[in-house]
Structure 1
Amino acid sequence: MREPVGGFALVLHSHLPWLPHHGTWPVGEEWLYQAWAHSYLPVVDMLRRFADEGRSDVLTLGVTPVLAAQLDDPYALRAMHDWLGNWHLRAQYAAVNWRSADHRLRDLAAAEHRASAAALADFETRWRHGFSPILRGLVDSRVVELIGGPATHPFQPLLDPRVRGFALRAGLADTRLRVGSVPAGIWAPECGYAPGMEREYAAHGVRRFLVDGPALHGDTAFARPVGDSGVVCFGRDLEVTYRVWSPKAGYPGDAAYRDFHTYDHPSGLKPSRVTGRAVAPHEKKPYEPALAAAAVERHAADFVETVVRRLTDLRARHGRPALVVSAYDTELYGHWWHEGPAWLEAVLRALPGAGVEVTTLGSALERYTGDPVELPASSWGSGKDWRVWDGAQVADLVDAGAALQADLLDLAAPTPTRDPVRDQAAREALLALSSDWAFMVTKDSAADYARRRAKVHGERYAELASLLRAGARERAAARAAELRAEDGLFGALDARDLLTDR
C-alpha cells in the first residue's frame, strides 16, 4: 500500500447549553430538538453505517457533558418524541395544504413526511434509552474517538484554577459514567487557552486538546507537545476549514441549498432555497433536492481537492506527510446546513480514494507529531483572543462570574457525606458560568435570553448559599429539591470536590 499524501482528522464538536425547562420558542428547548432531529440523528446514522462496514477512526467526536446530559434526560427524551410527532403532523399538514401549489412544494412536503416518519422510527427504535448506549457502541467499535470537556462548557481561562479543576473533573467523571471510560482528549470550550493550563490537563489525565490555528501561527501540520507537560495540542487548519465555515464564501451559502431562515409559518417547514444572499424571503425560489444534491457532489469534490492540495504543499514544505485538522460544530451539519450530513458522508468516503489517510486525533499521534511549542493565550472566537468572553459588552457577566466563583469557594465545606443543597448550589453556579451566555450577548444572538439564563442561575445559587449560611437547612433542602427538578443534570456531582487540590 502506497504511503498516503497525508492525514485528515475531522473533529465534530457537539454542544448546546442546558435547555430543558428553560423556555421553548424561539430560544430554549426548540433549539435542542431541532439540533437533535436534524444533526444528531443523521450524523449518528452515518457513523452507524461506517461501523457496520467495519471502518474505524472515521472522525473525532466531541460531546460536551452538558449536551450528553440532555440527550439522556427522561424529560427531554419524552419531549423530543413529542417534537418528532409534531414534525410529522406539520409535514402532513403541508402535504394537504400545498396540494394546489407549485409541484416542488408538494414534493418537499412529501419528502418532509418521509423524513419525519424515518426519524420517529429511528428514535423509537434506537434512542428510547437515551444517547449513552448509542455513544458507547460508537466508541467501542472505534468508529469514533470520543473527546470530552468540562461539565457545563465554561470559558476556562476566566475561571479560578480551583473552579476550573472542579468543572473539568465533573465533566470527565460524567463521561465515564455514560460511556464507561474517560476520554484522553478534550475540546477545550471555545478552544480557550491560557498558558499553564496544559499542566492542569496533565494532572487530570488529559493528553490532548485543540487550539485554533492562529495559536500555532498557522503551523498546524502536526500535533505539538506543549512545553514539557506531556500534553499535545492540535491546531485547526483554517485554510481548509474555512472552505465550509466561512460566512462569506462557505459551501452552506450556495444558492441551491435549503435556506435556514425562511419559514412557511403555518407548517413551520422551510420551503425555500438560498437563491441569493440579498434576496428577500418572499422572493426566494422553492427548494429543489436535485439541485441541492448536485451542489453536495460538487462541494464534496472541491473539499477533497482542497485537502489533497493542502497536504501536498505541506509535504513539500516539511519533507514528510502532514496532517490537516478540520473542526466544526456538529450542529452545522443538518440543523444549520440541511445538506451537511450528506456532504460529510461524501467527503469521508472520497478522501481515502484520493490518497488521504482519514484518522482521529489519537491515532494521528504516531505519524503526525512535531516539535514542542509554547502557546499564547487564545481562543477560536473573534480576534482569536478572549474578547468575545471578556470584552466590554459582557463586563458585567465577567464580574458576576468572578464574584460567584469566590463565593462558591467560600461556601465549600468538608462535610462527612454529600450535601444535596451544596451539590445543587454548585450545579447552578456551573450553569451560570457557561461560556454560551457571553457568546450570545457579544454576538447579539438571543442576548436577552442569555443574560436571563446567567442571572437566573446566579440568583438560584445565591438563594441556596444564603439559606445555608443562615442555617435554614429545611428550607434550603426543600428549595434545592425544587431546583433539582429543573436543573438536575450531573447526578453524581459532589460539591466537596471543590476542596480537591488536583
Structure 2
Amino acid sequence: MSEPIGGFALVLHSHLPWLPHHGGWPVGEEWLYQAWAHSYLPVVDLVRRFAAEGRTDVLTLGVTPVLAAQLDDPYALRAMHDWLGNWHVRAQYAAVNWRSADHRLRELAAAEFRASASALADFEANWRHGFSPVLRPLVDAGVIELIGGPATHPFQPLLDPRVRGFALRAGLADTARRIGRRPRGIWAPECGYAPGMEHGYAKAGVERFLVDGPGLHGDTAFARPVGDSGVVCFGRDLEVTYRVWSPKAGYPGDPAYRDFHTYDHPSGLKPSRVTGRSVAPEHKKPYEPELAAEAVRRHARDFVDTVVARLRELRDRHGRPALVVSAYDTELYGHWWHEGPAWLEAVLRALPAAGVEVTTLGRALDRYLGEPVELPASSWGSGKDWRVWDGAQVADLVEANAALQADLLDLAAPGRTRDAARDQAAREALLALSSDWAFMVTKDSAADYARRRAKVHGERYAELASLVRAGATERARARAGELWAEDGVFGALDARDLLTAE
C-alpha cells in the first residue's frame, strides 16, 4: 500500500459477568452459551482465516479476565458442548416440523442444522481445552492485539485506589498466565475514567486504554498521552462507530436482517427478519438469507465510504493521516446481529483496497500519536458520565459497594502464608463489585437478577469475613471450599496483594 489515507482500528470488547452456577435460562448461563456459539466461535473463525492468509494487525481484541476464566472453565466447557448438541437437536426438530411450512422456513431450518453441526465440529476440534489455546497462537503471530482489564470488570472510578489496583493487577496477571504475556493495553470497564487513574495504570504496567469520544471532546484523530503519565488513551470515533450501533439506530435494525427478539418457542430458533420497528412479532416476515446478504454488502460499502470520508476530512484538517477507532461489544457480532461476522469480514477486506491502513492500537502508535491531553471524568454510558453506575437508581448498590471495599481492606491482614478463606472473601468481593449489576439495574435489564447477584456475593463475603474475624479458621476454610465450587474463578488470587495495591 502507498501512503494510506489514514488508519482504522477495530476494537472488540468481549465481556460477560461470572455466570456458571448462577442460573440457567432465561437469565444466567444461557447468556454465556449463546454468546459463545453465535459470537465468539464465528469471530475467532474469521480471525483464523485472516491468519491463514498471512494477515497481521487485523483487530484489537479485548477479553475481560472474568470472561476468559469462563471460556477456560471445565464446567462451562462441558456445558457448552451440551448446549451445542442441544442446538443441533433443535435444528433437526425444526427441519422435521417445518416441512409443510413456507419454503423460506424449510431453508432456514436446513441452514441452522448446518450451522449447528459446523459449530459443534469446530468446538470439538479446537475448543475442548478452552479459549486460551485457541487465542494464544493468534496473539503470538501478531494477527490480533489482545487487551485485558481488571479481574471482574468493576467500574473503576468508584473503587478505592487500593481495590482498583488490586483488581487491575489480578486481571493482568490472570491474562498473562493464560496467554503467556501481560497485556500492554486495557479496555477500561465501561470506558470509565476519573482524573489521575492514568498514574495507577502506569504503575501496573498499562501503556494504553480506551475512552469514549466525548472524553476527548470528539477529537479522536490521534492517540494521546494523558498528562505526563506516559500512558496513552484512544478515543472512540462516534461519528463512524454509530453507523453500526448507536442509542437510536444502526445497521442491525435493517428490515432484512434476522430479528433478535422473535423466537419460534418449540425449537428456540429465530425464524423472522426485522421487517419493521413497529411490526408485531406475529406479523414479521420469514427470514431470507439472500436479502440479508445484500444488506451486508450495502452496509459494508456504506461503512467503508464513511471511514474514507472521515479520514480525508481529518487529514485535511490536521495536515497528516489520522486514525479512526471503532469499538464495539464483541457480542454484537453474531449474537445480537446475526449477520455481524459477515459484515466484519466484508469491511476488513474492503478497507485496505480503499486505501485505509487496518491496524491495531499498539501498531497505531507508530504513525498516529498526537499531543498530550488532560481528560475529564467520563464513561461510554448514558450521558457519557457516571450516572449509569452512580445514579439514584443504584444508590443502595453504590453505598453497599463502598462499605464492602472498606471492610475488605480492613480484613486484608498481613501474613506469611496465604489464607484460603481470605482469598475467597476477596474473590466474592470482586464479584459483587462487577459493573454489570448496576448497569442492569439502571437499564432495567434483568434487574432482579442483578440485584440478587450483588446481594449473594456481598453476603458470601460477609459470612467469610465474620468467620475469619472470629478466629474460626477451620470453619472459614471449609466454607471457602464450598463457595469455591460455585465461584471458583481466579485461582491464583492472593488477598495479601491488597496491602500493596494502589
- How far, CA to CA, are the matches of 1:2 and 1:112 in structure 2? 43
- How far, CA to CA, are the matches of 1:225 and 1:209 in structure 2? 10
- Partner of 1:484 in structure 2? 484
The answer to whether residue 23 in structure 2 is matched with residue 29 in structure 1 is no
- How far, CA to CA, are the matches of 2:234 and 2:109 in structure 1? 43
Map Cα deviations across residues 192-220 of structure 1 (whole Å, 9 max, x no partner): 00000001100110000000000000000
Shift of 1:141: 1.1
- Partner of 2:64 in structure 1? 64
Three-state SS of the structure 2 residue aligned to 1:8 is strand
- Partner of 1:396 in structure 2? 396
Map Cα deviations across residues 390-449 of structure 1 (whole Å, 9 max, x no partner): 000000000000000000000001121111110000000000000000000000000000
1:385 alignment partner AA: D
- Partner of 2:5 in structure 1? 5
- How far, CA to CA, are the matches of 2:404 and 2:350 in structure 1? 50
The answer to whether residue 179 in structure 2 is matched with residue 183 in structure 1 is no
- Partner of 2:167 in structure 1? 167
Three-state SS of the structure 1 residue aligned to 2:8 is strand
- How far, CA to CA, are the matches of 2:65 and 2:109 in structure 1? 36
The answer to whether residue 296 in structure 2 is matched with residue 296 in structure 1 is yes
Three-state SS of the structure 2 residue aligned to 1:307 is helix
- Partner of 1:465 in structure 2? 465
The answer to whether residue 326 in structure 2 is matched with residue 329 in structure 1 is no
Three-state SS of the structure 1 residue aligned to 2:244 is helix
- How far, CA to CA, are the matches of 1:424 and 1:247 in structure 2? 38
Structure 2 CA distance for partners of 1:345 and 1:247, relative to 1, 3 Å: same
- How far, CA to CA, are the matches of 1:434 and 1:379 in structure 2? 15
Shift of 1:249: 2.5
Shift of 1:472: 1.1
- Partner of 1:474 in structure 2? 474
2:125 alignment partner AA: T
Map residues 306-325 of structure 1 onto 2, 5 A cutoff.
Answer: 306-325=306-325
Map Cα deviations across residues 238-273 of structure 1 (whole Å, 9 max, x no partner): 000000012432000000000000000000000000
The answer to whether residue 343 in structure 2 is matched with residue 343 in structure 1 is yes
- Partner of 2:245 in structure 1? 245
- How far, CA to CA, are the matches of 1:87 and 1:501 in structure 2? 44
- How far, CA to CA, are the matches of 1:366 and 1:128 in structure 2? 38
Shift of 1:72: 0.1
State the 4+ residue runs in structure 1 displaced beyond 2 angstroms: none
- Partner of 1:203 in structure 2? 203
2:89 alignment partner AA: L
- How far, CA to CA, are the matches of 2:140 and 2:418 in structure 1? 33
- Partner of 2:140 in structure 1? 140
1:108 alignment partner AA: L
The answer to whether residue 426 in structure 2 is matched with residue 426 in structure 1 is yes
- How far, CA to CA, are the matches of 1:316 and 1:305 in structure 2? 17
2:94 alignment partner AA: A
2:347 alignment partner AA: V
- Partner of 1:447 in structure 2? 447
- How far, CA to CA, are the matches of 1:316 and 1:60 in structure 2? 27
Map Cα deviations across residues 57-77 of structure 1 (whole Å, 9 max, x no partner): 000000000000000000000
- How far, CA to CA, are the matches of 1:206 and 1:343 in structure 2? 32
- Partner of 1:49 in structure 2? 49
- Partner of 1:126 in structure 2? 126
- Partner of 2:99 in structure 1? 99
Map Cα deviations across residues 318-351 of structure 1 (whole Å, 9 max, x no partner): 0000000000000000000000000001000000
Q: Is this contact kept in 1: 2:11–2:326, CA < 8 A?
A: yes
Shift of 1:501: 4.5
Map Cα deviations across residues 70-118 of structure 1 (whole Å, 9 max, x no partner): 0000000000000000000000000000000000000000000000000
Deviates more, 1:411-420 or 1:352-361: 411-420
2:423 alignment partner AA: D
Three-state SS of the structure 2 residue aligned to 1:278 is coil
Aligned length: 502
- Partner of 2:275 in structure 1? 275
1:218 alignment partner AA: G
Q: Is this contact kept in 1: 2:166–2:501, CA < 8 A?
A: no
- Partner of 2:386 in structure 1? 386
- How far, CA to CA, are the matches of 2:247 and 2:315 in structure 1? 29
Shift of 1:369: 0.5
- How far, CA to CA, are the matches of 1:412 and 1:235 in structure 2? 36
1:302 alignment partner AA: D
TM-score normalized by structure 1? 1.00
Map Cα deviations across residues 285-320 of structure 1 (whole Å, 9 max, x no partner): 000000000000000000000000000000000000
Unaligned residue ranges in structure 1 (runs of 5+): none
Three-state SS of the structure 2 residue aligned to 1:244 is coil
Unaligned residue ranges in structure 2 (runs of 5+): none
- Partner of 2:18 in structure 1? 18
Identity over the aligned pairs, expressed in percent?
Answer: 88
1:145 alignment partner AA: E
- How far, CA to CA, are the matches of 2:373 and 2:177 in structure 1? 34
- How far, CA to CA, are the matches of 2:122 and 2:186 in structure 1? 29
1:151 alignment partner AA: A
- Partner of 1:256 in structure 2? 256
Give the root-mean-square deviation of aligned CA atoms. 0.6
- How far, CA to CA, are the matches of 2:242 and 2:402 in structure 1? 34
Structure 2 CA distance for partners of 1:345 and 1:465, relative to 1, 3 Å: same
Shift of 1:473: 1.2
1:192 alignment partner AA: G
- How far, CA to CA, are the matches of 1:152 and 1:492 in structure 2? 14
- Partner of 1:438 in structure 2? 438
1:164 alignment partner AA: R
Map Cα deviations across residues 155-188 of structure 1 (whole Å, 9 max, x no partner): 0000000000000010000000000000100000
